[in-house]
Amino acid sequence: MFSPFCQSPLVTRIIINGSKGRMGQALLACAGNHSGLQVVASIDVGDDLVSLMPQADAVIDFSHHDATATVASLCAAAGKALVIGTTGHNEMEKASIRAAAVKIPMVWASNYSTGVTTLFWLTRKAAEILGPSFDLEVLEMHHRLKKDAPSGTATTLLEILGDVRKVQLDEALRHGRQGIVGERTASEIGIHAIRGGDVVGDHTVIFAATGERVELTHKASSRDTFANGALRASGWVVGRPPGIYDMQDVLGLR
Ligand code: NAD
């Protein structure tokens, strides 16, 4: 059903990929809160996305990093929008996903919560205001079953800090510290991934100077916050020009 006045459908029909997982289940549970969305299929390992594609306007992918590039190229071939929640992609996978975005609109965000989107914005502002005399460290904690580290959200925070400081992340990053590592250099950015229990996702950015310290923290207590953000993104992205968008675009923060 399409409105004559805009290119996006009145009801956005979605396929959820990775539907048997923790996020897939949260997406299915939350979809009913979004009156403009209809889940037409929920699929997981071994299911055939190609045959289902004609029924949908968009695919939401919360699966495994090695699945996303294929999903993206299938969406590109079928002209369907894509929302990517999956994290942990390697450089080759990221390049394939970017290639697909030449043909279709996609929202690709390491974190779909409104709170974390705000944390991203605040982190950039704080890094710009506080300047190079503040040492930068990022801490993240997740449940014991999480497969990738550091988290996609922590990686986005590090990219923001690296961008503001104008440093190459592969040179600046310190993943934990062990042994006689020597004094901290001014240019390094520390990252520490903690795993345990059922923690949904905690992230803290520390700005530490002589005499004072600023800490920005976000704690997620329910996966519904990510699910509702991704569902909202799927309604937003259909009908947009091809390209890669993030949650700041969806929330109108640009
Ligand atoms: P999970 O392990 O509970 O679920 C993943 C699901 O994907 C499983 O059901 C698995 O069978 C399925 N899967 C694996 N390979 C597949 C394939 N080739 N095709 C289809 N399905 C496949 O993991 P989760 O906690 O639900 O997280 C899923 C992903 O989402 C992870 O990468 C995680 O880091 C990410 N995540 C992102 C956000 C965000 O806001 N962007 C929030 C939470 C989790």
- The pLDDT value recorded for residue 10 is 83
Q: Confirm if 123 and 160 have CB atoms less than 8 A apart.
A: yes
Q: Which of 87, 111, 156, 228 to mutate to test the pocket of ligand 1 (most atoms within 8 A of CB)?
A: 87
Alpha helices (H) in the chain, listed in sequence order? 22-30, 49-52, 65-78, 91-100, 114-130, 152-165, 169-172, 224-237, 247-250
| Residue 2: pLDDT over 60 | no
Residue 146 known to be catalytic = yes
The 10s digit of each residue's pLDDT in 132-191 is 999 999 999 999 999 999 999 999 999 999 999 999 999 999 999 999 999 999 999 999
Q: Token digits for 46? A: 């071994």
Taking the C-alpha atoms of residue 233 and residue 92, their distance in angstroms, rounded to an integer, is 25
- Decide whether any atom of ligand 1 lies within 6 Å of the 18 Cβ: yes
86 lines ligand 1 (CB under 6 A): yes
Give CA–CA dist 231/220, Å, rounded: 17
CA distance linking residue 143 with residue 197, whole number of Å: 5
Query: How far away, in angstroms, is 26 Cα from ligand 1 center?
Result: 11
Domains of the chain by start residue, with CATH = 12-112+223-250 (3.40.50.720), 114-220 (3.30.360.10)
pLDDT of residue 7: 54
Q: Minimal CA–CA distance to 69: which of 40, 101, 43?
A: 101
Sheet containing 105-108, strands listed edge to edge, beginning at the edge strand earlier in sequence: 37-43, 12-17, 58-61, 81-84, 105-108, 243-245
Q: What is the pLDDT of residues 216-236, one digit of tens each?
A: 999 999 999 999 999 999 999
Q: How far apart, in whole angstroms, are the C-alpha atoms of residue 73 and residue 78? A: 9
Residue of 142, 192, 203, 218 marked active site? 142
C-alpha 63 to ligand 1 mean position (Å): 3
d(CA 63, CA 20): 9
Residue 238 clears pLDDT 70, i.e. is over it: yes
Cβ–ligand 1 distance for 20 under 6 Å, the answer yes
Q: For 78-137, what is each residue's pLDDT tens digit?
A: 999 999 999 999 999 999 999 999 999 999 999 999 999 999 999 999 999 999 999 999
Marked catalytic residue, from 20, 94, 103, 146:
146
Q: How does DSSP assign 201-227, residue by residue?
A: EEEEEEEEETTEEEEEEEEE--THHHH
Residue 151 Cα: closest atom of ligand 1: 34
Binding site membership of 62 for ligand 1 (Cβ less than 6 Å): yes
Compute the average pLDDT of residues 238-242. Answer: 98
17 lines ligand 1 (CB under 6 A): yes
CA distance linking residue 109 with residue 87, whole number of Å: 9
Sign of CA dihedral 51, 239, 84, 201: negative
Distance CA 89, CA 61 (A): 13
Tell me, yes or no, if 142 is annotated catalytic.
Answer: yes
**Which residue's CA is the nearest one to ligand 1's atom 40?**
111
Average pLDDT over residues 234-252: 96
Using left for φ > 0, alpha for ψ between -120 and 50, and beta otherwise, residue 95 falls in: alpha
- Strand 37-43 to 12-17 pairing: parallel
What digits encode the pLDDT tens for the residues 5-64?
445 568 999 999 999 999 999 999 999 999 999 999 999 999 999 999 999 999 999 999
CA distance 84 to 34: 18
Task: Give the dihedral sign, CA 111/61/83/104.
Answer: positive
